[in-house]
Amino acid sequence: MDALHRQAADDWINDHLDLYNHALQIGDSAWQEQILDTLNQKEEAIRLLVNVLILQKLWDRFDAINRLMLSLYDLAREDESPAGQKQLYRAVRELGKQRAAVTSQIRSLTSSPPLE
């Protein structure tokens, strides 16, 4: 279990235990039962939470790559030397490959499983 998964699981469980304690304090037995049912199905809920966190990190990386690509395009437009432009466009192409890899990871996490 990696650090992100472990932290998400710890936070999720602690949050639900806090809710359970609050339900206990106010005497809401129906809510307590609902929270216990949710805790019993924690693996799926935590898996979904971890996927959301991973997707957020991937989208942040995607946005950072786009911003860097735009900056390099601006520099290339301002650079009057063909060698400098060539080097900047080469860097943009490399970033495009990185962006494609991130896009592939995003798609793999967001694609729905086939219906059975």
Give yes or no: residues 69 and 35 share one domain: no
pTM recorded for the entire structure: 0.76
Give yes or no: residues 60 and 104 share one domain: yes
Domain-located, residue 19: yes
Domain-located, residue 14: yes
Residue burial 37-51, b: 16+ Cβ < 10 Å; e: rest:
eeeeeeeebbeebbe
pLDDT of residue 115: 45
Domain-located, residue 98: yes
Give yes or no: residues 35 and 4 share one domain: yes
The number of folded domains in the chain is 2
Residue 30 neighbours by CB under 8 Å, 6+ apart: none
Q: Tens digit of pLDDT for each residue in 51-89?
A: 999 999 999 999 999 999 999 999 999 999 999 999 999
Q: Report the share of the chain in percent with pLDDT over 90.
A: 89
Find, among 72, 63, 79, the residue nearest to 94 by Cα. Answer: 72
Domain-located, residue 45: no
Q: Tens digit of pLDDT for each residue in 6-54?
A: 999 999 999 999 999 999 999 999 999 999 999 999 999 999 999 999 9
pLDDT of residue 93: 97
Domain of residue 95: give its range.
54-111
